[in-house]
Chains A and B, each alone.
Chain A
Amino acid sequence: MTVYETEVPGVGHKFELELDGGSRLVVILHHDGKRELYLRPEENADSRKLFELPGKQARQLGSILEGAYFQPVEMDDIQVPMGESIIEWHDVPAGSTLVGRSLQAMEIRERTGVSVIAIQRGDETIDNPLPDTVVQADDILVTLGTREEQQSFSELAERTDDSGG
Chain B
Amino acid sequence: MAKTLLLEVGIALTGIAIAGAVADRAGLSVIPAYILAGILIGPNEPSSVAGVSLTLVENREFIDVLAELGIVFLLFFLGLEFSISQLLADRKRIVKAGSVDFLVNFGLGATLGVAFGFSVIETLFIAGIVYISSSAVVTKSLTENGWIANPESGPILGTLVFEDVLIAVYLALLSAVVLGGGSMVDAVTSVGVAFGFLGVLAVVAWYGAETVERAFDVSSDELFLLRILGTTTFVAGAALAIGLSEAVAAFFVGTAFSNTDHTERIEDVVAPTRDFFAAVFFFAIGLTTDVTVLDDVVLLLASAVVVTTVGKAASGTLSGRAYGLDARRSLRVGLGLVPRGEFSLVIAALASSAGTETLRSVIPAFAVGYVLIMSVLGTVLIQHADSINAMLVSGPGGFSRE
Binding site for B on A (CB under 8 A): 6-11, 14, 26, 28, 31-32, 36, 38, 40, 43-44, 46-49
A29 to B164, CA, bound (A): 22
Task: Name the residue of chain B whose CB is nearest to the CB of A39.
Answer: B149
B160 at the A interface (CB under 8 A): yes
Residues of B within 8 A of A38 (CB): 146, 149
What's the A-B contact tally at a CB cutoff of 8 Å?
57
- Whether A14 lies near B149 (C-beta < 8 A) is yes
Residues of B within 8 A of A46 (CB): 146, 150
Task: Name the residue of chain A whose CB is nearest to the CB of B152.
Answer: A46
Contact of B154 among A6, A26, A43 (CB under 8 A): A6
- Whether B148 lies near A11 (C-beta < 8 A) is yes
Task: Name the residue of chain A whose CB is nearest to the CB of B158.
Answer: A6
Binding site for A on B (CB under 8 A): 77-78, 81-83, 85-86, 135-136, 139, 143, 146, 148-151, 153-154, 157, 160-161, 164, 264, 267-268, 271, 326
Query: A-B pairs with the 6 shortest C-beta distances?
Result: A47-B149, A38-B149, A26-B149, A31-B267, A9-B81, A10-B139
- Whether A31 lies near B135 (C-beta < 8 A) is no
- Whether B143 lies near A11 (C-beta < 8 A) is yes
A133 to B398, CA, bound (A): 81
- Whether B149 lies near A9 (C-beta < 8 A) is no
- Whether B154 lies near A32 (C-beta < 8 A) is no
- Whether B150 lies near A9 (C-beta < 8 A) is no
A47 to B264, CA, bound (A): 27
Residues of A within 8 A of B161 (CB): 9
- Whether A47 lies near B81 (C-beta < 8 A) is no
- Whether B271 lies near A31 (C-beta < 8 A) is yes
- Whether A28 lies near B160 (C-beta < 8 A) is no
Q: Could you list 23 examples of A-B contacts with CB < 8 Å? A: A7-B85, A7-B86, A8-B139, A8-B148, A9-B83, A9-B135, A9-B161, A10-B136, A14-B148, A14-B149, A26-B149, A28-B148, A31-B264, A31-B271, A38-B146, A38-B149, A40-B149, A40-B150, A46-B146, A46-B150, A47-B146, A48-B146, A49-B149
Contact of B157 among A9, A26, A40, A47 (CB under 8 A): A9
A87 to chain B, nearest CB (A): 35
A14-B148, A28-B149 known; A9 vs B267 contact (CB < 8 Å)? no
A44 to B268, CA, bound (A): 36
Residues of A within 8 A of B83 (CB): 7, 9
Task: Name the residue of chain B whose CB is nearest to the CB of A43.
Answer: B151
Given contact pairs A38-B149, A43-B151, A47-B146, enumerate 14 new A-B contacts (beta carbons under 8 Å). Answer: A6-B86, A7-B81, A7-B86, A8-B139, A9-B82, A9-B83, A10-B136, A14-B149, A28-B149, A31-B264, A31-B268, A46-B150, A47-B149, A49-B146
- Whether A11 lies near B139 (C-beta < 8 A) is yes
B250 to chain A, nearest CB (A): 16
A48 to B149, CA, bound (A): 9
B146 to chain A, nearest CB (A): 6
A142 to B35, CA, bound (A): 73
